[in-house]
Amino acid sequence: MMTAMEGVPNHPKAFGEELQRLRESTGLSLEDIAEETKISRQILRSLESGDFRFLPQKVFCRNFVTQYAVVVGADPEELADGFEAAWERFLLASGNHLQIEIDEAPFIQAIRWRFWLPVTIAAAILIVAAVVILRGSAPDVHLAAENRSTPMPRTATNPVPASPSMLPTATEIVDEGDYVSILVRVHPEMECWIHFRDRNGVAGGKLLAGGTEERIDLMGPVKLTVGDADAVVIEIAGVEYRGLGRPGQVVHTEVSGEGLVVLGPRARNE
């Protein structure tokens, strides 16, 4: 463990220079870090240049910094805390801090108003149209009632059977077997981020705290990325998958009704 991490800079550019200094002191290149952590080179360049505009959400970046620290032999917690401080400086300098605190609540009301206004107008139009139709058809119905004669009874003919519909039913369209239920459990005193995308393009990501579990129901096959391969146990159809890789390593998997397949890097037990 390196001891040169005393007083990590809290400015994005100075923080990035500290990352570069640590990497170069170990004789590693950006390609070496990317190969070991599976973090994209673009994200690594943004971290080392202090240009946080091109970085993803903070929770993912903190995990990237922790993995970076493990590879270069630095203190992961101290380096992650330094990133937190540099990120706050970045928000203050870019003016995003106030926007998050002030504009979030009114945004919800605006969405609801834009939703209900067209619905209300459409309902009013339907009511007016129904009243006009009923008033216009009432005299015709009355006249027909006065002039109609009692129909003569006639023998019922054989009903023509309805031809079967060629349209598929709902049960034929949706195959319940394509749905995959994934349960992710995080070991106590650890944390891990996950990212998923199913066959229909439904995607999302989340940072899971230690000792918690998350159930995801998606249309398989599902591309599931785990931020710390040694921090989770994944359960699919009652089968548990653990030890997917080394501590702090990003692992890409594919999940379907048949189970879980590690796409890269290879698991330790293979």
Residue range 79-124, pLDDT digits in tens:
999 999 989 988 888 765 444 444 444 444 555 667 788 889 999 9
**Are both 193 and 216 inside the same structural domain?**
yes
Query: What's the number of domains the chain is made of?
Result: 3
**Are both 122 and 204 inside the same structural domain?**
no
Does any domain span residue 153?
no
Does any domain span residue 149?
no
- In this prediction, residues 35-54 reach a mean pLDDT of 90
**Are both 82 and 115 inside the same structural domain?**
no
| Amino acid 257: pLDDT | 82
Name the least confident of 2-11, 71-80, 133-142.
2-11
Q: What is the DSSP letter of 199?
A: T
Percent of the chain with pLDDT over 70: 73
| Amino acid 160: pLDDT | 53
**Are both 127 and 86 inside the same structural domain?**
no
C-beta of residue 8 within 8 angstroms of C-beta of residue 79: yes
What is the helix, strand, coil percentage profile of the chain, to 5? 45, 20, 35
**Are both 178 and 257 inside the same structural domain?**
yes
Token pair in block for residue 80: 């992650």
**Are both 258 and 208 inside the same structural domain?**
yes
CATH of residue 208's domain is 2.60.40
Domain region containing 130? 109-138
**Are both 199 and 234 inside the same structural domain?**
yes
Does any domain span residue 238?
yes
**Are both 130 and 199 inside the same structural domain?**
no
Which of 36, 70, 97 is where one domain is finished? Answer: 97
Does any domain span residue 23?
yes
Give the model confidence (pLDDT) of 194-244 as tens digits: 989 999 999 988 888 888 999 989 888 989 898 887 888 999 888 999 988
Q: Which residue has the higher pLDDT, 171 or 43?
A: 43
Amino acid identity at 91: L
**Are both 88 and 119 inside the same structural domain?**
no
> Which residue, 255, 250, 254, 248, is CA-closest to 265?
250
**Are both 134 and 56 inside the same structural domain?**
no
Does any domain span residue 73?
yes
Which of 66, 97, 128 is where one domain is finished? Answer: 97
**Are both 230 and 181 inside the same structural domain?**
yes
C-beta of residue 265 within 8 angstroms of C-beta of residue 248: no
User: Considering all CA atoms of the chain, what is the largest pairwise distance in Å, rounded to the nearest integer?
Assistant: 106
> Which residue, 180, 195, 179, 257, is CA-closest to 232?
195
**Are both 121 and 178 inside the same structural domain?**
no
CATH of residue 44's domain is 1.10.260.40
Distance CA 27, CA 222 (A): 38
Mean pLDDT estimate for the chain: 78
Does any domain span residue 204?
yes
Which of 97, 123, 146 is where one domain is finished? Answer: 97
Does any domain span residue 40?
yes
| Amino acid 154: pLDDT | 55
Does any domain span residue 104?
no
Token pair in block for residue 264: 């890269």
